[in-house]
A and B are shown apart, each in its own frame.
Chain A
Amino acid sequence: MRRINIFEKAGSFAENKDIARDIRRAELFPALAQNQKIILNFDGVDATTQSFIHALISDAIRQYGDKALENITYHRCNDTIKQLVRIVVDYMQEGIGENSPKGGVAS
């Protein structure tokens, strides 16, 4: 199990895509490669952008498909963060033509 605290790295408005990319490379992908469960903890994050969420998770969905959706849990997201995660998960699945279940956004 790996817990990634977004607030610690990207602050209360998580919009710096370079940071999203670094989290993806240094933490998310290594954990996915080991088939670990991952918690993306948004506690303390008030807002984010679609671009940030895209830079954080889109490649995980492309490369790992359903596995990424099963292994990643989104923790303590407010409504707008949930919506942005859903938007990115939706278009990644639609776009790559996979017929996988919708991403679970835990509260």
Chain B
Amino acid sequence: MKAYIPNSAFLGNINHFLRNFDPASPGKLQITANEKWMAVHPVVLAMIAALGSTVETRQIECMRFVSKSKNYIIRMGLLDFLGLDPAEDTVREHDPAGRFIPLKRIRNSDEATQFITDMIPLLHLQDKPAQAQTLSYIASELLRNVIEHAQAEHGAIICAQYYKKSNSIGIGIADTGIGIKKAINQSYPALTDMEAIRLALQPGITGTTKREGGTPENAGAGLFFTKSIASVNKDFFIIYSGKGFYKLLRKPTGSRTVLFADPFQDKHSKDETYPYWKGTVVGVDIALDRTREFSKLLELIRETYGKEIRDRRRARYKKPRFTS
């Protein structure tokens, strides 16, 4: 496999990075990067760490990073994660003012709870309840999805970072499990990765059952909530699984907020010809100064969710038959 880290890959322009990813020869991993500098979204690091987890360390070939990029890679924990030794000459003190959560592997429910608890102080969000709640909510739903559905041998890989310039937090989570299509296909006959992603994002649709209201453990709402949070706050949200890639585009600030049950009705871009990602990747941005009160958001979600369930129920009603 080959991954090239460009000098810039955030959710808005991540498409290039994804296109250049080469999943061939799954036993090996070659990592290269832009020579001069790089600034990437946490989801990019989570993906590379996830790929690295699937191959033996001696099968990982990683180019030598120049000092600035190297510092970044080290403090985000990527070299550690890949089992690579940072050359001594380049190790520097960590930037104490940096706010980030280095790469972490989460394998079970208790590890998820621990991670979510530790995350808020690391990102200095103790005194920002609305933002802290938003971030914890998303992290909980996404981590639990991997634990519950991905059957991922290597668990969920997650990291996050605060960006001063945009006053936002990026969060990325990647797994190398069964992917959305296989999980959704346990209950719905989605034929393509994109069809499966579309279903997974709808409220009340879960791969665990066809029954309305879900199972005692799953309602099929986690991804819809996550996408809705991004939508209300006018932030990016991406999901990538198999060959399918869906991106919720950022709505202009000040535009009216409408939530949609069908992700294809949101302002979005999608592509189903991407290199095959065996598993699932989700990336979200949270702009801190735009974060809406959580209870306002829930009001909107309740309306959309309720309407969707009623519409779906009505669609199942038997129709009268007329003859002339």
Q: A80-B298, A92-B213 given as contacts; is B219 within 8 A of A16 (CB)?
A: no
Identify the stretch in B105-113, B184-192, B233-241, B272-280 within 8 Å (CB) of chain A at 4 or more residues. B105-113
The answer to the question of A18 belonging to the interface, with a C-beta cut-off of 8 Å to chain B, is yes
Q: Does the CB pair B116–A13 fall under 8 Å?
A: yes
| Residues on B with beta carbons closer than 8 Å to the beta carbon of A24 | 216
| Residues on B with beta carbons closer than 8 Å to the beta carbon of A90 | 302, 305-306, 309
- What separation, in Å, do the CA atoms of A49 and B217 have in the docked complex? 13
| Residues on A with beta carbons closer than 8 Å to the beta carbon of B216 | 21, 24, 55, 58-59, 62
The answer to the question of A96 belonging to the interface, with a C-beta cut-off of 8 Å to chain B, is yes
Q: Does the CB pair A91–B204 fall under 8 Å?
A: yes
Chain A stretch 76-103: residues in CB contact (< 8 A) with chain B: 79-80, 83-84, 86-88, 90-92, 94-97
Q: Does the CB pair B133–A80 fall under 8 Å?
A: yes
Q: Which residue of B lies closest to A10 (CB)?
A: B113
Q: Which residue of B lies closest to A91 (CB)?
A: B309
Most chain B CB inside 10 Å of its own CB: which residue of A11, A15, A24: A15
Nearest CB of B to A22, in Å: 11
Identify the stretch in B84-92, B137-145, B154-162 within 8 Å (CB) of chain A at 4 or more residues. B137-145
Nearest CB of A to B241, in Å: 20
Q: Does the CB pair B298–A47 fall under 8 Å?
A: no
Q: Does the CB pair A97–B313 fall under 8 Å?
A: yes
Nearest CB of B to A33, in Å: 15
The answer to the question of A46 belonging to the interface, with a C-beta cut-off of 8 Å to chain B, is yes
Q: A87-B298, A90-B302 given as contacts; is B219 within 8 A of A50 (CB)?
A: yes
- Give A24-62 as 1s and 0s: 1 = Cβ < 8 Å from B's Cβ atoms: 100000000000000000000011011100110011001
Q: A16-B113, A18-B109 given as contacts; is B212 within 8 A of A51 (CB)?
A: no
| Residues on A with beta carbons closer than 8 Å to the beta carbon of B218 | 51, 54
The answer to the question of A17 belonging to the interface, with a C-beta cut-off of 8 Å to chain B, is yes
Q: Does the CB pair A87–B141 fall under 8 Å?
A: no
- What separation, in Å, do the CA atoms of A54 and B214 have in the docked complex? 9
Q: A87-B302, A94-B313 given as contacts; is B225 within 8 A of A17 (CB)?
A: no
- Give B191-216 as 1s and 0s: 1 = Cβ < 8 Å from A's Cβ atoms: 00000000000011000000011101
Query: Which one of A18, A62, A86, A96 contacts B302 once the chains associate, using CB atoms below 8 Å?
Result: A86
Query: Which one of A15, A51, A83 contacts B219 once the chains associate, using CB atoms below 8 Å?
Result: A51
Q: Does the CB pair A95–B305 fall under 8 Å?
A: no
Query: Which one of B117, B137, B204, B295 contacts A83 once the chains associate, using CB atoms below 8 Å?
Result: B295
Q: Does the CB pair A50–B225 fall under 8 Å?
A: yes
The answer to the question of B301 belonging to the interface, with a C-beta cut-off of 8 Å to chain A, is yes
- What separation, in Å, do the CA atoms of A69 and B313 have in the docked complex? 22
| Residues on A with beta carbons closer than 8 Å to the beta carbon of B305 | 87, 90-91
- Give B101-144 as 1s and 0s: 1 = Cβ < 8 Å from A's Cβ atoms: 00000000110110011000000000001000100110011001
Nearest CB of A to B144, in Å: 6
| Residues on A with beta carbons closer than 8 Å to the beta carbon of B213 | 58, 62, 91-92, 95-96
Q: A13-B116, A55-B216, A55-B217 given as contacts; is B141 within 8 A of A95 (CB)?
A: no
| Residues on A with beta carbons closer than 8 Å to the beta carbon of B302 | 83, 86-87, 90
| Residues on B with beta carbons closer than 8 Å to the beta carbon of A92 | 213
24 A-B pairs whose Cβ atoms sit less than 8 Å apart in the complex: A11-B113, A13-B116, A13-B117, A13-B133, A16-B112, A17-B109, A21-B216, A46-B133, A47-B136, A49-B137, A49-B140, A49-B222, A50-B219, A51-B221, A54-B217, A54-B219, A55-B217, A58-B219, A80-B298, A83-B295, A83-B298, A87-B302, A91-B204, A97-B313
Chain B residues close to A by CB (< 8 Å) = 109-110, 112-113, 116-117, 129, 133, 136-137, 140-141, 144, 203-204, 212-214, 216-219, 221-222, 225, 294-295, 298-299, 301-302, 305-306, 309-310, 313
